[in-house]
């Protein structure tokens, strides 16, 4: 039981000494840079997708607004005639 605890302690100490050297090596740095570059490409692709979606939605909202304005223009003259007829009586 004590031997197993001692193994964990020695392993932790060795890992604590080796890990910083491994993490700061040139190969590790190259890996980090490539990972960051891939993340930046993914972000750019996502932003392009979002911009295209926003433009498409903006077009749809503009078209819907136009349809609603045309429908309101078609309905308003009748409502105006009926209300003016009722007030004249």
Over residues 16-34, the mean pLDDT reads 87
Alpha helices in 1-89 (DSSP H): 2-23, 26-88
| Cα separations in angstroms, 40 against 34, 36, 52 | 10, 6, 18
pLDDT at 84 over 60: no
Over residues 70-76, the mean pLDDT reads 77
| Cα separations in angstroms, 5 against 9, 16, 32 | 6, 16, 34
Q: How far apart are CA 20 and CA 73, in angstroms?
A: 72
**If you average pLDDT over every residue of the chain, what do you get?**
83
Q: 22: Cβ–Cβ under 8 A, 6 or more apart, which residues? A: 28
- Tell if the pTM clears 0.85, that is, is over it: no
Over residues 22-34, the mean pLDDT reads 89
pLDDT at 1 over 80: no
- pLDDT-derived band of residue 24, with 50, 70 and 90 as boundaries? confident
Task: Give the pLDDT of residue 86.
Answer: 58
């Amino acid at each position: 039981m004590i031997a197993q605890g001692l193994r964990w302690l020695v392993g932790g100490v060795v890992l604590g000494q080796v890990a910083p050297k491994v993490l700061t090596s040139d190969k590790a740095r190259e890996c980090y840079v490539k990972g960051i570059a891939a993340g930046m490409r993914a972000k750019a692709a996502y932003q392009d997708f979002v911009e295209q979606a926003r433009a498409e939605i903006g077009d749809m909202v503009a078209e819907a607004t136009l349809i609603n304005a045309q429908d309101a223009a078609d309905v308003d003259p009748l409502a105006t005639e009926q209300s003016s007829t009722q007030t004249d009586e």
